[in-house]
A and B are shown apart, each in its own frame.
Chain A
Amino acid sequence: MADAKRGDLVQIHKIVLEPDERSDNLPSCTKSVPYECWIKGFLVDEDADMGDEVSIRTFIGREISGVLCQVNPMYDHNFGEPQKELLSIDTEVRRQLERT
């Protein structure tokens, strides 16, 4: 079975500029890697597998092509772990306010 079929929400990847096509005015760590891009949209092709060159229709209806890299891409940023460096601030400042 194909990884994605027409209408699925997917993400594509594009290399916008290879290192030698990039601006000259860059730190070497940036100049040595390609300039890349990811865009989400609905698959236009009948079906496709990861790594295939595909077309998508973006949320505003434009058609863009690139390499299929994710199907049903999820937002996975989160609230982070509790930070012990912050947890006692509440008690500390309340104690200070009580003293005054």
Chain B
Amino acid sequence: MDMSYSAVMSRKKDILRRATGIDYDRFEISPLTFDYEGLMNSCEYSLEDVQRILEETGVGKTPLVELENLTELVRSISSPGRGGRIFVKDEAANPSGSFKDRRAALSVFHAKKLGYKGVVAASSGNYGAAVASQAAKRGLKAIILQEVYDSRKVGQPEILEKTRACEAYGAEVWQLTVGPELFYIMLRVLEETEFFSASLYVPTSVRGIETLGYELAQQVFQREGRFPDVVMITHAGGGNVTGTARGLNKAGSYNTIVVGVSVDLQGLHMASDIDFNRKSFTTGHTGFGIPFLTWPDRTDVPRNCARGLRYLDRYLSVTQGEVFYTTELLAKLEGIERGPAGNTSLAGAISLARELEKDQILVVQETEYTAAGKLPSSQLTFAKENGIEVRRGDPKENIPGKAIVIPEGVDQIRIEDMDMEKIRRSYIERAMKMTEGYVPTREDIEFLAEDSKSSVDYVQETIRSLKVKRAELA
């Protein structure tokens, strides 16, 4: 068989149909529209089923902890009457140490039920470890493909730790250099092994995360007699936002404001061999966060079930220095030492809680485990070795890839609201470009409105203004 890049890519559709057990064509309605809920429900598990399946491997039911000392610190810099109560859901308590166990648990269970002998996942982060861990427990084989090294064979300490974790759970790990050809390797491996593709973006993956939003809404309700006012979610590929928000809705927590937070890495190119080691965060950053909102279907499956733009009320950015500072606060004031990437939304919470009334409830929906490589000290040591300036100062002076500025005080942590309007517009522009020549129907406009959490009027107006812009350019 021809294993060249182009030949393997051209067999993509057949390989993925066999590897996911899903005929994605069944859900296509028009060049623009697909049946999202139909696809989500194509794996026939109720929320109760999912909870039971997760419980079998010790996933979920993680503690919800009120961060009183941190809240006190926030109130000390807030206007009178302000400073909402901050809670954190300690997802590091899952078997492999992050919320990713929830998405791996259902996918691995499903793969086994369908008769696959093993699972394949592409992840340089917590998800690889989660898949390897769940596969170990269920007796399946796991192959994890990781983007680890630049062309000098220098790797981020955080990713090297992830290789170690995957191998500790008995997985075969492919440590690859920088490049989107990871997908080509994935197709090759899937074709060769006939294993299940435990993609981050299949229905079972997002359905697993619904338990997180559902659980936290219930925990808050049982404790406080009401649902949380704000839930803050570290955002990259969109599964975390999508699953959590869907779970909140399933619990009846309809009025909760859903806020995504990413580390600002704008300006760094994600496929660049040089930029690769000029960042300290390997997930939860804008380099994934923005493109996955503006075009979710860029993934390793034909249709992505993680569609963050459908669910986000606000999207914020924080700086690398602010997250390292916050990681210190969580350890020193709350006695909870966790990995920096999982504290991204906590950094955002410190700033956003200042806007809230004292009795309002803000939940940070995750933490992740920490270890060698996944610590502010190891990540900053690596940053300095790679020519990044690290200093105390105003985080506004942070420059991705050049300077990491650790705040001098908690009052300097300031979230930036990303322009949702621009993101929605860019989503619609992309959809139009991908289907050039096709005239959207009423149903398509409704789909785009739902998929971008906007309105029919907004979509129509945006399409009209794009046409004007194009006519002017021509």
- Interface residues, chain A, with chain B CB atoms under 8 Å away: 16-17, 21-23, 25-27, 29-30, 33-41, 58-62, 75-83, 85-86, 89-90, 92-94, 96-97, 99-100
Contact = CB atoms under 8 A, between A and B. Distances in A.
B410 interface: yes
Contacts of B75: 100
Q: Give the secondary structure class of B's interface.
A: mixed
A78 B174 contact: no
B401 to A, nearest CB: 13
B185 interface: yes
Contacts of A86: 324-325, 328, 376-377, 380, 406
Contacts of A41: 172
Interface string B158-176: 0011011001001111111
Interface residues of B, number: 62
Given A16-B181, A16-B185, A86-B328, A81 B377 contact: yes
A58 B377 contact: no
Contact of A38 (B76, B175, B333): B175
Contacts of A83: 376-377, 380-381, 390
Contact of A85 (B163, B175, B180, B392): B392
B381 A81 contact: yes
Nearest to B325: A89
A6 to B, nearest CB: 19
B376 A17 contact: no
Given A59-B167, A77-B373, A39 B157 contact: no
B468 interface: no
A49 B422 CA distance: 57
B410 A77 contact: no
B149 A36 contact: yes
A40 B148 CA distance: 14
Interface in B118-164: 118, 141-143, 148-149, 151, 157, 160-161, 163-164
A23 B179 contact: yes
B390 A85 contact: yes
B143 A60 contact: yes
